[in-house]
Amino acid sequence: MPSKDFFELATSPIDITSVARRVVPPECGATVTLDGYVRQFTRGRETLHLFYEAYEPMALREMQKLIGQAHKDFDISNIGIVHRLGRLEVGETSVVISVAAPHRKAAFAACEWLIRELKRTVPIWKKEIYADGEEWIEGEKDVTPI
């Protein structure tokens, strides 16, 4: 069976259903999907919109590495990752990660690992635009080169 893994940077709205469906192999019965979206309020402050920027070729390489590592560490069939870039309005989807696996447990574990690692390693940055200013958000975690 050819792999149905995919990893993409998107500049138009992401449809969760279509991401979740693209990872489905005929012998699996369940998909776990994490979707992140633009919060209206962060620590009580209202966000007007967000802007995501990426170091695009490196972001795609890092996403591909995460997918490779997930296949080593978890018994899963297919993975789909789509991250939105550019300006996003409140409520829009910023990231979708879908994992299909023969057994649910591995799909949950892999999806949780993938979002944690994506937030730590994939070179994408978020700028929050508030009524009274804007701010580049800095991640909390370091990355150790391999």
Partner 1 sequence: MIKALFFGLTADLIGSRSTDLDLKDHATPANVLEHLVAAYPELAPHRILIAVNEEYVYADTVLHDGDELAFFSAVSGG
Residues that bind partner 1 (CB under 8 A): 36, 52-55, 57-59, 61, 83, 94-95, 115, 118-127, 136-146
The interface partner of residue 131, options being its own copies, partner 1, none and the CB cut-off 5 to 8 Å by kind, is none
- x/- track of binding to its own copies for residues 64-93 (CB under 8 A): --------------------------xx--
Is 107 within 8 Å of 95 (Cβ atoms)? Answer: no
What does the alpha-carbon distance between residue 79 and residue 145 come to, in Å, rounded to a whole number? 24
Distance in angstroms (rounded) separating the CA atoms of residues 124 and 138: 10
Binding its own copies (rule: CB under 8 A), the pick from 7, 9, 20, 114 is 20
Binding of its own copies by 10 (CB under 8 A): no
> What are the residues whose beta carbons fall under 8 Å from the beta carbon of 98, sequence distance 6 or more?
19, 20, 22, 23, 31, 32, 33, 79, 80, 111
| Number of residues engaging its own copies in binding (CB under 8 A) | 31
DSSP conformation class of 91: T
Which residue in 6, 10, 35, 120 binds its own copies (CB under 8 A)? 35
Helix (H) or strand (E) holding 139: none
Residues that bind its own copies (CB under 8 A): 15-17, 20-21, 24, 26-41, 90-91, 104-105, 108, 111-112, 115-116
